[in-house]
Structure 1
Amino acid sequence: MPDIDLATPPPGQASDDPPPRPSLSAWIYLGLCAVAILQVFWRPDGWQVVAVVLGVSYLALEFTRTSGVQRLVGYGLAFGGLALGLRAGQGGAVLLDGMASALKFQLVFFAVAWMQIPAKTSPTLMAARQFVLDQPAGRRFLILSYAAHFLGAFLNLAALTLLSDMVARPKDRQLKDRLAVALMVGFTSASCWSPFYISVTVVLAALPGLKWVDIAVPGLIMGMLVVAVTALIDRVFVRGSRPRGAPG
């Protein structure tokens, strides 16, 4: 693909510097994840109190690292829910049950961050990435979209890390925009069915009677159709309108 320079390292490529040492808040977050896993098998008396203490400690340590909007929304919702619980005379129950319900989301975020490590080092994933990079212009949009879809379904944000080179390197501005659309459509459409997306986790948590297998197949079909229709639109209305000889 002459329009994509594979010899030039992508912007923001990781350096050889050693990784930073884990902070106290990182260890506390790891403790939260451990509690989230252990409570599935063992729920001794007071385990929710441990989760609340760890959660409050983590939020306090990370307070200055979040933006004003994040603090306003996050803490506003938390204190608003607690205030309603106190008004109903169930403040303690709301605090404990709310933290217990939030543990599954902590695990999702932990898994998303953890999976970025094999995405950067796995020879198999590197080979998959190279396969996508080597696609000719006619199949590039579709292959990148489906690669982002299925890799994103299992690796979540790590898939963006893996495939972002293809979007960063093109010299042609319109080609770069088209590849960015392909990457984001493929990635976001996986939220229709992948259990590693927070949207699916929220739906399953809000509807206890609903199982993931109930939405997996319809969601997969919907996601693949979204990618196919987007690729068709790009082929007919975007790439098809470009002058002959233009990259893409």
Structure 2
Amino acid sequence: MQIDRHRTAPQSACLAGLFLVATACVFVADEWTQAIELEWLTAALAILVALTLALRSQTKERLFLAVALVLTGIALATLPDALARILRALQTAGFIAAIFTALATLRAVAESSPAIQRSGQYLVAQPPGRRYLALTLGGHAFTLILNYGSIVLLGSMAMARDDANQDPRICALRTKRMLSAVQRGFVAAVIWSPLSLSVAITLTLLPEVHWIDIAFPCLVSSFLLFVCGWELDSRIRPPVRTQAPSRTAAVGGWRALAPLGLLLCLLGTLLSGLHALTGIRTIGLVVGVVPCIAAVWLWRITRDPDNGLDFGARAKAYLTQDLPGLSKEILLLMSAGYIGNIGAPIIAPLLAAAGVDPSGLTGWVVLLILIWALPLAGQFGMNPILSFSLIAPLLPSAESLGVSAAAIAAAALAGFALSGASSPFTATNLLTGALGKVSAFEVGVRWSGPYTLLAGAMISVWIGVYAFLL
């Protein structure tokens, strides 16, 4: 029988979208009720999501699934508590799918918002003297709403700007500075934002830590990333111009950023207020609150007939196009989370047999390992989620190390940020390279190499001060 591929593709897309939304709903219910039945349902939905996304994926993503299956077989054959380990790994994969689904709602609506578009245009139109700062701070704020979409939105606007100066040296330098500013704003956000996947994964693997525990050290680390980027950019001396550049007036003033600021204040108020009232983890609240805000925002946008948007049509497009369109990213991240969780207990006895005893490490060494191991592994193609999922279960307890669990989490998040800045295999550098028409290696290693080393050294000192002196 011949298969109608044109019919099968939309069907698999619709199923993938439905399973992803169902996973997010079950995860929220599980956070509120802590029912064991919902934990099993989350695991079952994670399997269904992986299978439907695999139908739309390519060889690389399916290879990750094959590795996950092999490790599952090894776990069943060697681990006495294999079923419990597999259940926990599937729950992690389901959690990744849930938070990705929730954050995608806000991104889908924000990309349809004329107000957000105007905010981006205002930032890009800043004069050269303050453009780096505007794009870094703007990229930071946009990342809280759009995640990777901030790089696409601001980067695309930056590359579309008219510039009468056709000197290729100046154009190349301008491209590097503008895209680096956006990228560094993104990196500085993922280290602390409760809406970032890195924070969500870290708090899941270190359940004794809450977001409020890491807010202070991670915000200081984020500030150090800003300072480092600003300092390196200020040292760049462009070639002498042969022709004055064109100027594009910044339209709307700082008021163009008001909608973005109001949205961030609303998110922060709701998340902090609900956490204080209910005691539910910030991550669980994010998955429940963000889609509600996105739905209300979309409703307000569609009330204006000039926007040409229909609420039902946009919601359907999110379910059948936006979510399935992210199948590659979601499947890779789910696989990385699963492989890390199921692989760590398999690796532990192998390390013991080789005479490697992590319990003999000092607190300072563990913190340095977390800060630098993730970006180093990223140079060889390892996703930071996979790296940290493998490392976290092998770490000695915070008490035995003489440091707080918050210090361990802050060090790990610094590693996530530095990996995002430097690894040629992360989406951050792949997107930036595509916009700048250069390779991801050029972006991650040559553009961001000095930034990563300097920022890593500064953050290493800060985390040491926080862990042992504060």
- Normalised to the residue count of structure 1, the TM-score between the two structures is 0.79
- Higher mean alpha-carbon deviation, 201-210 vs 154-163, is at 154-163
Change (3 A) 1:108 1:87: same
Q: Shift in Å at residue 27 of structure 1? A: 0.7
What are the within-5 Å matches in structure 2 for residues 78-97 of structure 1?
A: 79-81=70-72, 83-97=74-88
Q: Indicate conservation of the 8 Å contact 2:24/2:97, yes or no.
A: yes
- Cα distance in 1 for partners of 2:182, 2:224 equals 15
Q: State the partner residue of 1:163.
A: 154
Percent identical: 24
Q: State the partner residue of 1:137.
A: 128
- Cα distance in 2 for partners of 1:103, 1:56 equals 8
Change (3 A) 1:147 1:50: same
Change (3 A) 1:213 1:154: farther
Q: State the partner residue of 2:104.
A: 113
Q: Give the unaligned 5+ runs of structure 1.
A: 1-19
Q: Shift in Å at residue 45 of structure 1? A: 5.3
Q: Give the unaligned 5+ runs of structure 2.
A: 1-9, 164-170, 247-470
Report the 3-state secondary structure (helix = DSSP H, G, I; strand = E; otherwise coil) of the residue aligned with 2:209.
coil
Counterpart residue type for residue 211 of structure 2: W
Q: Shift in Å at residue 138 of structure 1? A: 0.7
Q: State the partner residue of 1:242.
A: 239
- Higher mean alpha-carbon deviation, 178-187 vs 193-202, is at 193-202
Higher relative contact order, structure no. (Cα contacts within 8 Å, ≥ 6 residues apart): 2
Superimposed CA distance per residue, residues 187-220 of structure 1 (whole angstroms, 9 cap, x where no aligned partner): 1121210122222122211212211112222212
Change (3 A) 1:111 1:160: farther
What are the within-5 Å matches in structure 2 for residues 143-222 of structure 1?
A: 143-170=134-161, 172-222=171-221
Counterpart residue type for residue 176 of structure 1: T
- Cα distance in 2 for partners of 1:164, 1:42 equals 42
- Cα distance in 2 for partners of 1:148, 1:78 equals 38
Change (3 A) 1:231 1:247: farther
Q: Indicate conservation of the 8 Å contact 1:85/1:94, yes or no.
A: no
State whether structure 2 residue 25 is matched by structure 1 residue 26: no
- Cα distance in 2 for partners of 1:213, 1:93 equals 29
Q: State the partner residue of 2:229.
A: 230
Change (3 A) 1:231 1:99: same
Q: Shift in Å at residue 56 of structure 1? A: 1.8
Counterpart residue type for residue 243 of structure 1: V
Q: State the partner residue of 2:342.
A: none
- Higher mean alpha-carbon deviation, 152-161 vs 196-205, is at 152-161
Q: Indicate conservation of the 8 Å contact 1:52/1:99, yes or no.
A: yes
Q: Indicate conservation of the 8 Å contact 2:124/2:158, yes or no.
A: no
What are the within-5 Å matches in structure 2 for residues 45-124 of structure 1?
A: 46-77=37-68, 79-81=70-72, 83-124=74-115
Change (3 A) 1:45 1:210: closer
- Normalised to the residue count of structure 2, the TM-score between the two structures is 0.44
* Greater per-residue helix proportion: 2
Superimposed CA distance per residue, residues 150-169 of structure 1 (whole angstroms, 9 cap, x where no aligned partner): 22134312322431233321
Aligned residue pair count = 227
Q: Shift in Å at residue 224 of structure 1? A: 2.6
Q: Indicate conservation of the 8 Å contact 1:142/1:228, yes or no.
A: no
- Cα distance in 2 for partners of 1:32, 1:62 equals 14
Report the 3-state secondary structure (helix = DSSP H, G, I; strand = E; otherwise coil) of the residue aligned with 1:175.
helix
Q: Shift in Å at residue 121 of structure 1? A: 2.9
Q: State the partner residue of 2:304.
A: none
Change (3 A) 1:107 1:156: same
Q: State the partner residue of 1:127.
A: 118
Q: Indicate conservation of the 8 Å contact 1:148/1:183, yes or no.
A: yes
Q: Shift in Å at residue 102 of structure 1? A: 3.1
- Cα distance in 2 for partners of 1:112, 1:156 equals 8
Change (3 A) 1:151 1:126: same
Aligned Cα RMSD in Å? 2.6
